[in-house]
A and B are shown apart, each in its own frame.
Chain A
Amino acid sequence: MTVRVLLFAAARDHAGTDAVSVELAPGATVAHVRAALAKQVPGLAALLARSAVAVNHDFAEGGRVLEPGDEVAIIPPVSGG
């Protein structure tokens, strides 16, 4: 299963792109996305450790199982306002 991960702010700058596709086994979780992304884009690893993950526009815990078509995004610590 291919999951496209959206990147914003410093995560986008570190990766040099606004989205990265990661290949995951069926039944993969948010934690698997984190691991795959850190391996695929080592420059993201440090920020990733401080970031949340969103699935379909809601914050998601590491155990959340992904379905094909889910919209996944890395959410670095926010600084709006």
Chain B
Amino acid sequence: MRTIAASIAARVPRFLREPRSLLIAVPYFWLFLFFAIPFLIVLKISFAEAQIAMPPFSSILEWTGEKLSINLNLGNFQFLFEDELYYTAYLNSIRIAFNATLLCLLIGYPMAYVIARMPPSRRNVFLMLVILPSWTSFLIRIYAWIGILKNEGLLNETLKTLGLIDAPLHILHTEAALYIGIVYAYLPFMVLPLYSNLVKLDPRLLEAATDLGARPWQAFLQVTLPLSRAGMLAGSMLVFIPAVGEFVIPELLGGAGTLMIGKVLWQEFFNNRDWPVASAVAIVMLLLLTIPIMLFHHYQARELEAR
């Protein structure tokens, strides 16, 4: 194996042996073309007008003989601010994502804490148990909750059999179902960064706190909790940001009453076929998420560069 690799290495031309620029250029080009430029196009189209054509929007730059005219249509953004639907959907999304993030933190922290304190050989097994569900289909895991939560679903039937309720609890298509779905789907993303933060915590710090007379909960509140701030932040951003734009969970578990902005964008695009308004919805969502994304980037960059 090694000799084969070495003989391949000997046959590669010299300019490829200093591959630094090539190494940077290839992924750079791909990500720039397929991740950065698309945002500029979304920005551009958010200023266009919807048309019945293919593609269904007007062009912004127009060349008429000797005149180049730029038609920026601010109407889409004005529309977003005037129609209460969008305003409510943005607020709902942020509120629901925020609460769901807090719930994830409350449920995920004890899990990460206990796993980080296990002997190293057992840690990996438990960590894998946390990750495993998120490797199976997201859609199907959300679907599972429909069967559990609906009026004649497993939960209601079980409670009825036990004699705890007479009439079924309405959970599916309410905000409660939305929370259950988001917490369920995103919990692993909270546990992982928390774990990798807590596992680095020096146990001598806790011993020192105990020696100085702190009770276990005091040591936890005054030592562990403040030191795990970075992990809590990273986990929270990993849950909050995608949850704001979530589509599948509000579509399958949420009700007609709770609009979330990801679902609104989807409907603008697929049902109303209004691409410019959908683009404007996306741009405003991105602006709202700028600070959380930058916070996450800051943490992630430090994680990757710290030696």
Q: Do A and B associate with each other?
A: no
